[in-house]
Copies of this chain bind each other. A is one copy, B any other.
Amino acid sequence: MSGGTIVMKFGGTSVADATRLKGAAKRIVEKFEAGHRVVAVLSARGKETDRLISDAYEISDAPEPREMDMLLSTGERVSCALCAMAISDLGHEAISLTGSQAGIVTDTSHTKARILDVRADRITSALDEGKIVLVAGFQGVSTSKDVTTLGRGGSDTTAVALAAAVGAEECEIYTDVPGVFSADPRIVPEARKLDIVSFEEMLEMSSSGAGVLQLRSVEYARNHGVRIHCRSSFDHSPGTVVVSEQETMENPLVTAVTHSTGEARVTLTGVPDTPGVAGRIATALAEANVNVDMIIQNDPVSADAPAEMSFTVPRDDLRTAKGALAPVVAELGIGGIATDESMGKVSIVGAGMKSHPGVAAKVFTTLGEHQINIQMISTSPIKISCVIESDRVPDAVRALHSAFELQGEGTIRPEQPFGEFAS
């Protein structure tokens, strides 16, 4: 097989030690020798980012975001430089580029920057010279010429953005699992590897807890039509292909059960029933870069009684969220803030549920049969999420996976032929 440009992305566990890093270099070279132009995006090695973060918190309780980016961006550069050395030893020319050198221009929102533009000239001219190009993931350069990072998992977004910019035929995401599963195999051992998933399903799965692909990278891939192939870096078997809905053969009723155990609930009591209040609260949280998930507002019983508003945020963002809300609470005369950090979430995702209204009822019944109390519910055309107590999440995942018969055999959707997306 010979062909066009492929972007390959290797996560931290795939480059954690010298043996694995050389293994990644070998896979890159195999792809190159098969006739492809290859751009590889690497993450920081193993626990390197965690080490740098802990170095920062040893110095400061609230590290400057700009400096955090300067600090954290070094991890991916190390991986790329080392991988270029390994490729050179395998007899090919490789060049490592920082996010800035690769032309990844972002906004100035440090630690959570968004890509504004990819100026891939330096990449394409290196490819034209027959070089393998290695790009430090997770980072870019802001419009004010500072180093920025894209947030956790940002290397996936780097890879997809580069794939779009260079017109790659596929963006391969190499990871330490064989692909996307019908549920977390650590919780459901009989979970099935999915061969093909639509962008829309993958978006819902990523946003509801499936850690294998970062949400923003899937959004970017959908918006730019980049075919993602999520696969293991430790063997050559095909993984999960993420493509547009037209390309999936049929829509399963339910594709997967996802979950998260790291949620927190914030409840605002005594919220004045005046227009614009919810908007002010949401703006304050958005400006602090806190992703609010579910929002529930209890309408007051009498017309002038204050309302109650609850929403969930990632538990790690709870402190930031409370800090961002404090001035708004004071200014608007909100009664109080209560928080609960022991929240989790279980979701089912499937493109086919659009046309099957009975799915929600089955979810609620199943959880009820297992005495799992549902605290909040949110739905989309292809997803149903329930906020539950964090410690009941594993039971809920197993119950739903079994109720919708997602295990290996007997699945509603037939297996895709392997050959179709073998590399």
Our pick among B67, B71, B94, B101 for the contact of A88 (Cβ within 8 Å) is B67
Closest chain B CB from A30 CB (angstroms): 18
B82 x A56 contact (CB < 8 A): yes
Name the residue of chain B whose CB is nearest to the CB of A61.
B89
CA distance A7 to B71 in the complex (A): 22
Is A74 in contact with B78, judged by CB distance below 8 angstroms? yes
Report A60-88 residues with CB < 8 Å from chain B CB.
60-64, 66-68, 70-71, 73-74, 77-78, 80-82, 84-86, 88
Residue among B62, B67, B88, B94 making CB contact with A82, cutoff 8 Å? B67
User: Does A85 contact B60, Cβ atoms closer than 8 Å?
Assistant: yes
- Residue pair A82, B96 in contact (C-beta under 8 Å): no
A1 close to B (CB within 8 Å): no
Mark A367-381 against chain B: 1 for CB-CB distance below 8 A, else 0: 000000000000000
CA distance A55 to B56 in the complex (A): 22
CB <8 Å contact, A84 and B58: no
Q: Is A400 an interface residue (CB 8 A)?
A: no
CB distance from A15 to the nearest CB of B (A): 10
**Contact between chains at B145 and A58 (CB < 8 Å):** no
Residue A18 at the chain B interface, CB threshold 8 Å? yes
The residue of chain B having its C-beta at the shortest distance from the C-beta of A69 within the complex is: B81
- A90-148 with Cβ < 8 A to chain B: 94-96, 98, 101, 122, 145, 147
Q: Is the CB of A85 within 8 A of B64?
A: yes
Interface majority SS (helix, strand, loop, mixed), chain A: helix
B77→A22 contact, CB < 8 A: no
* Residue contact B58 to A18, C-beta cutoff 8 Å: yes
Cβ B95 vs Cβ A66 within 8 A: yes
CB closest chain-B residue, reference A97: B70
Most buried by B among A18, A61, A78: A78
Q: Determine whether A59 belongs to the interface, using a CB cutoff of 8 Å to chain B.
A: yes
How many residues on chain A are close to B (CB under 8 Å)? Answer: 38
Residues of chain B contacted by A101 (CB below 8 angstroms): 145
Chain B residues whose C-beta falls within 8 Å of the C-beta of A22 in the assembled complex? 59
| Interface residue? A388 (CB, 8 A) | no
Counting CB contacts under 8 A, is A21 at the interface? yes
B-facing mask of A285-304, CB < 8 A → 1, else 0? Answer: 00000000000000000000
Asked whether A52 is an interface residue with its Cβ less than 8 Å from the other chain, the reply is yes
Q: Contacts of A63 on B, CB cut-off 8 Å?
A: 85
What is the bound-complex CA distance between A67 and B131, given in angstroms? 14
- Inter-chain CA distance A101–B80, complex, in Å, is 21
Residues of B within 8 A of A95 (CB): 66
Docked-complex contact B66 and A82, CB < 8 angstroms: no
| Interface CB pairs A-B, < 8 A, 19 | A18-B59, A22-B59, A55-B78, A56-B81, A60-B85, A62-B89, A63-B85, A64-B88, A66-B84, A66-B95, A67-B84, A67-B94, A70-B81, A70-B96, A71-B77, A71-B81, A73-B77, A74-B77, A98-B147
Pairs A-B, 9 closest by C-beta atoms: A74-B74, A71-B81, A70-B81, A18-B58, A60-B85, A67-B81, A67-B84, A63-B85, A64-B88
